[in-house]
């Protein structure tokens, strides 16, 4: 008999929909307000009975979940569950890909425009009561935006910059597959060719052995001195010490990071003192956006209905 643990922050209408979707099945609602797998205490006696978890579980608790058949995560990334021996043998794992695209893309877009129009500089001047025009600004009209990561996040961001007149170029392993919002798709092996041509480099890559420090000191050196780098994928994709040096020596127009390596960023890291950097603490998606919460609930509800009817689950990773 299934026992469903629901950790999603639901409104009353959504909770009623989950109850209606699984009549006669025990459902336990223990919402995690900030979509953190470590929040909300789960009674030990419940762990061994859970067959379905709608919402991530702490990895250290998985050995106690001997009845688990399916876990639907809060996150688009599932790296913590992928190593051998971590996830229960035979259980299904599905991600939240598709829930975060709009929210993350809007955050990236806001950061990009702020850098292009020198808004952080003017905010600093406002604090000192200085009425002082700054230097030249940039436009997306006619700009080349290079997308490293052409999935849900990259596609949403591409549509926003394209609407402002940018030409969008995406790199991935399947250049024969068109991506909405991206004008050209090329093999990832052409990265070094495209970096010097880009006015903006937008990164939404997952973490894999191939993507760790893919933007290192050498590749940062390939960028135009007036280029802007944005990373909202995984912090490990950028060598943050090398980026700090490139920004300090003004080899880039600017950068925006919602993710860093390490994370949280230590108080003595040189990135904190880069005046041409916008730094946010991994907040582009998640529980701060009502849209994300509603999308997460809709995705989990659809997958629950699929699970109960024996259909294929969306975003299955295991």
Cite the active site residues.
234, 263, 282
Which tokens is 28 given?
Answer: 């336990």
- How far, rounded to the nearest angstrom, does the alpha carbon of residue 207 sit from its chain's CA centroid? 11
Which backbone phi and psi does 143 adopt, to 5 degrees?
-75, 150
**Helix or strand (DSSP H, E) at 194:** helix 191-194
Q: Which residue has the tokens 């991935």?
A: 172
Which residue, 202, 257, 258, 250, is CA-closest to 226?
250
Whole-number Å distance between alpha carbons of 39 and 30: 10
Which backbone phi and psi does 35 adopt, to 5 degrees?
55, 35
Burial of 136 (0-12, 13-18, 19+ CB in 10 A): exposed
16 Cβ contact list (under 8 Å, min separation 6)? none
Q: Running DSSP on this structure, what letter comes out for residue 170?
A: E
Nearest-5° Cα angle at 180, 207 to 233: 20
């Amino acid at each position: 008999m299934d026992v469903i643990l629901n950790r999603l922050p639901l409104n009353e209408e959504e909770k009623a929909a989950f109850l209606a979707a699984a009549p006669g099945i025990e459902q336990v609602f223990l919402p995690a307000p900030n979509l953190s797998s470590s929040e909300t205490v789960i009674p030990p006696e419940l762990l061994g009975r859970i067959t379905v978890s709608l919402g991530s579980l702490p990895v250290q608790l998985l050995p106690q979940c001997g009845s688990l058949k399916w876990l639907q995560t809060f996150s688009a990334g599932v790296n913590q569950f992928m190593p051998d021996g971590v996830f229960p043998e035979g259980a299904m794992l599905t991600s939240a890909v598709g829930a975060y695209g709009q929210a993350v893309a809007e955050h990236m877009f806001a950061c990009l425009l702020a850098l292009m129009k020198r808004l952080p500089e003017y905010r600093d001047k406002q604090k000192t009561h200085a009425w002082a025009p700054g230097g030249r600004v940039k436009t997306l009209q006619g700009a080349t935006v290079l997308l490293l990561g052409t999935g849900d996040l990259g596609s949403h961001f591409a549509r926003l910059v394209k609407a402002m007149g940018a030409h969008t170029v995406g790199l991935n392993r399947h250049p024969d597959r068109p991506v909405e919002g991206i004008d050209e798709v090329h093999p990832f092996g052409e990265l070094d060719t495209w970096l010097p041509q880009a006015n903006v480099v937008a990164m939404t890559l997952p973490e894999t052995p191939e993507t760790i420090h893919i933007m290192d000191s050498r590749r940062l050196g390939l960028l135009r001195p007036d280029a802007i780098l944005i990373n909202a994928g995984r912090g490990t994709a950028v060598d943050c010490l090398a980026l700090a040096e490139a920004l300090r020596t003004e080899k880039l127009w600017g950068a925006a990071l919602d993710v860093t390596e390490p994370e949280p960023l230590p108080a003595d890291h040189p990135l904190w003192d880069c005046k041409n950097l916008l730094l946010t603490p991994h907040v582009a998606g998640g529980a701060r956006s009502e849209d994300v919460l509603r999308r997460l609930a809709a995705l989990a509800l659809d997958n629950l209905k699929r699970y109960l009817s024996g259909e294929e689950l969306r975003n299955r990773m295991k």
